[in-house]
Structure 1
């Protein structure tokens, strides 16, 4: 006799929500860290403490790409949420 393919979830909804919140918080912190690193290097360049323009520009570009990626992911999440809300049950 074949076993049913359905299994009970191993993670409770509360745990899944907490895990998602932790992942989201970590991602936002990484974006913030990249922005802060870019700001520090830009200020150091402006004040004359460092003179490596290439490093400053690379750091600024990394921060920009990180922020753009976060914005695009946010848009996709909102689109997915709206799609789920339009589903008929």
Structure 2
């Protein structure tokens, strides 16, 4: 896992699991803790504060106390570079 804060973006957490890349918001939706301080168990990130769990592929909370999903981002690799996409306010992708 690597925590990044690109200019103009919220803090992100980039994961590599079984050769695939994933990206989510770094901030837990329950306790506003940095998930980078937590544990990655397969495709599950565990919050270091109250042990909320999220699926990094979908952002879906897997147990209480979290009830809101994490924002997720599309990740691609081209020419040795990692690209993370988010939706802009008009619906097009930004990189």
| TM-score, normalised by the number of residues in structure 1 | 0.24
- Answer 1 or 2: higher relative contact order, Cα 8 Å, separation at least 6: 1
Judging by fraction of residues, say which structure has more strand. Answer: 2
| TM-score, normalised by the number of residues in structure 2 | 0.24
Judging by fraction of residues, say which structure has more helix. Answer: 1
